[in-house]
Chain A
Amino acid sequence: MKVYFDNAATTRVDPRVTELMVKIMDEDYGNPSSKYIMGLTAENYVREARERIASSLKVKPSEIIFTSGGTESDNMALIGTALAKKNRGRHIISCNIEHAAVYKTLEFLEREGFEISFIGVDERGHIDFEELKKTVRPDTILVSMMYVNNEIGAIEPVAEASRIVKGINPDCYFHTDAIQAYGKLVIRPKKEGIDMLSVSGHKIHGPKGVGFIYINEKTRIEPIIFGGGQQRVLRSGTENVPGIAGLGLAAELYTKNHEEYIKGILSVKERLMERLERIEGVRLNSLPGEESAPQIVSASFGGVRAEVLLHALEDKGIYVSSGSACSSNHPAISGTLRAIGLKKELLDSTLRFSFGIFNKPEEADYCADCIEELLPVLRRYTRR
């Protein structure tokens, strides 16, 4: 049995998306900037994708800029704002459980002379409003706060945070990394006070190498990629037409089938949590049901090294990740797990299970069965 429980790392592309992309690469391979009909056909795919995405967020199509993925979207929001506003202020706020695409970019800006403040989180991974209130200043130009944490699935109260920030400093921009949130949660940037929002295609059964950033029409940032002036000069470079069309379709499928999809994903999460809860020495780091993201379960297995359990599960055909797959090339201990105050001995014993639309609750049962079988064996052999 093959069980792919690493959908927060990446997802299987929906076959309908693949079909559309193949057609575009095979037949409609024109450059959107070309003047003849093939160019127009290509442009129409991009326009359609933009409209599909805009309607999923209830924003204007012109507010969607396509990028190479979540990392570029985050870079663009942070560096683009810093460049545009450096004369008004050089203070940026974020929190201490952000993805590397955000915090590494902030470290870069820090070296370039910006001042960065990181807000802490509580044991559930939620940011501290009091600390946020105290940190916002007249020279704060940007607050960047993730919508859903990629390691434990905590949902950050971004709407409330934005309200607080803008109450103190109305000129401050509010960005959110919504890479794990988009599709899974209903997001309304306009109502939630979000000026910029980053999304990646391959977390929603779309292709890799494509994503987008929503930028509110009133928000002014500088481009970070220069060239032919595509996408209103904000993001030069020939549009990745098949990728963009694939992303657009994946987004539409998620929007149209939202209830059904989420119900399915949530049922896997609930089943796995129920089962893991009953196993001795297992600590769940994610909140149940819809209190945290529907697709992520983080669990710590006392007395077992995460990587060993991961490979033992791999042997059973189950694919999960330790910490976050995006950062698992370097064995640094997760910042998020540390930030929520997880005990030191559990930091290296934590796995993340994440679900997609193709998973079934029976797979959660199989996974839990395997863990029940493996734990006692693995716990017997540890470093003494």
Chain B
Amino acid sequence: MPARWQGTVNTAGKFGLDFERINMFYHSFLIKYAEIGTKGKNRYIFEDALIQQIKQHLRKADGEFAIVKEQGRIYVNAKSDYDYDEVIGALKKVFGIVGICPMVQLPDEGYEKLRKEIVRFIDEEYPDKHFTFKVRAKRTNKHYPVTSDEINADVGYDILTAFPETKVDVRNPEVMIHIEVRQQINVYSKVIKGAGGLPIGTNGKAMLLLSGGIDSPVAGYMIAKRGVRLEAVYFHAPPYTSERAKQKVIDLAKKVAEYAGPIKLHIVNFTEIQLYIYEQCPHDELTIIMRRYMMRIAERIAEETGSIGLITGESIGQVASQTMFSLQVTNEVCSLPVYRPVIGFDKQEIIDLAEEIGTFDTSILPYEDCCTIFVAKHPVTKPNLGVIKKSELKLSEKIEEMTERAVSEREEIECF
């Protein structure tokens, strides 16, 4: 073990465990972000939001970290012992990060020393030496006595000499060795893929209709990925839906919140409205009318709480209430834009994403949700707006009062 790398971050000393080697190896993470860089004068807003998000996500990880913005770059520097996998896991959930580069920082102790350290770094990092590489040095410290091209040539030579199995490939190298000469010298060669998107908090707030199924958490994730803060609404119908169904939705909101940040979940008691529709309206229109009231209620809560859009997990043709005809009829009640990010996805594509973000296993727990309890055997698939509106007239006596009650008596739970 090179003594040099046992600098500030050293956990292995305590237990001598081999698997902790990696911790003392990397002192720092270079955070790569793509789209933010294109935002012109607003760039600092996005960078600050990203730093804020990184801070928030790292709070869940053990250890102390300093997040440094420096010459158009963001670094996460470890100030104490930390768990490498935990930190990478946390950073991978931050929207706005394209790549995470674990980095070794070497003090400037002369060029000869640097060359030796880099060879050791490669030796430690790549036990199997059968790879092609390229060295890419960059100097921001222009006082450094050696130029970037010279570093490239010298270090390349050192590596080829030390490990004859390696090959140089300047066009398409398997390993790109970055050497950044600043006050200290940063060395990294790996980029771990980040979540992408834009940092949360850079793009307003939207209200997600969360049902407990597979689609809506994925829809929420996708919109949050574009920097949008989320709130969510769930329609609870006791005794037809159970406390477990509600708990499941809370759990789902928490899963999405791992990426999207804290989500306020509004739980609306929908039983009364549902039974009223059941009694007054034709049964095959029940689902579509129900959904229209869900949208109306979601929009009211959205307006009350400052959300400027609604999000649903609808996908064209998936079920009767999601045909284009049905969507047209449900959409008609809203004035806020309704975002439907999975609209063109096949079920399997949604499932794949749900598995990737970790909501799938919760979504498939078998508790009945309010959309399915009274569903007709043959619901309308081509509802006619005029007919539906006429049916809704039968609700005019009590529905306003019921909707008001549903909104005002909702329960709010912070999910994070």
A residues bordering B, Cβ < 8 Å?
307-312, 314-315, 330-331, 380-381, 383-384
- Given A307-B242, A314-B239, A383-B373, 13 more pairs with CB closer than 8 A: A308-B239, A310-B239, A311-B238, A311-B239, A311-B240, A311-B242, A315-B239, A330-B366, A331-B366, A380-B279, A383-B374, A383-B376, A384-B377
B residues bordering A, Cβ < 8 Å?
238-243, 275, 278-279, 283, 366, 368, 373-377
Contacts of B243 in A (CB 8 A): 311, 314
Contacts of A330 in B (CB 8 A): 366
Q: Which of A312, A331, A384 contacts B239 (CB 8 A)?
A: A312
Contacts of A331 in B (CB 8 A): 366
Task: Flag if A384 contacts B283 (CB, 8 Å).
Answer: yes
Q: How far is the CB of A221 from chain B (nearest CB, A)?
A: 37
Q: Which of A314, A380, A381 has the most CB of B within 10 A?
A: A381
- Given A307-B368, A331-B366, the answer on whether A381 and B374 have CB atoms closer than 8 Å is yes
Task: Please report whether the interface of chain A is mostly helix, strand, loop or mixed according to DSSP.
Answer: helix
Contacts of A310 in B (CB 8 A): 239
- Given A381-B275, A381-B374, A383-B374, the answer on whether A315 and B242 have CB atoms closer than 8 Å is no
Q: How far is the CB of A131 from chain B (nearest CB, A)?
A: 34
Please, which residue of chain A has its CB at the minimum distance from the CB of B238? A311
Task: Please report whether the interface of chain B is mostly helix, strand, loop or mixed according to DSSP.
Answer: loop
Q: How far is the CB of B237 from chain A (nearest CB, A)?
A: 10
Instruction: State A290–B312 Cα separation when bound (angstroms).
Output: 56
Contacts of B242 in A (CB 8 A): 307, 311
Q: How far is the CB of A326 from chain B (nearest CB, A)?
A: 16
Q: How far is the CB of B350 from chain A (nearest CB, A)?
A: 23
Instruction: State A309–B241 Cα separation when bound (angstroms).
Output: 11
Please, which residue of chain B has its CB at the minimum distance from the CB of A374? B239
Q: How far is the CB of A323 from chain B (nearest CB, A)?
A: 13
Instruction: State A309–B238 Cα separation when bound (angstroms).
Output: 10
**Which A-B residue pairs are the 9 nearest by beta carbons?**
A311-B239, A312-B239, A384-B283, A331-B366, A308-B239, A311-B242, A308-B240, A381-B278, A381-B275
Please, which residue of chain A has its CB at the minimum distance from the CB of B278? A381
Instruction: State A315–B240 Cα separation when bound (angstroms).
Output: 11
Please, which residue of chain B has its CB at the minimum distance from the CB of A314? B239
Contacts of A315 in B (CB 8 A): 238-239
Instruction: State A330–B244 Cα separation when bound (angstroms).
Output: 13
Contacts of A383 in B (CB 8 A): 373-377
Contacts of A307 in B (CB 8 A): 242, 368
Contacts of A311 in B (CB 8 A): 238-243
Q: How far is the CB of B411 from chain A (nearest CB, A)?
A: 15
Please, which residue of chain A has its CB at the minimum distance from the CB of B372? A383
Contacts of B240 in A (CB 8 A): 308, 311
Interchain residue pairs with CB less than 8 A apart (19)? A307-B368, A308-B239, A308-B240, A309-B239, A310-B239, A311-B239, A311-B240, A311-B241, A311-B242, A314-B239, A314-B243, A315-B238, A315-B239, A331-B366, A381-B275, A381-B279, A384-B283, A384-B376, A384-B377
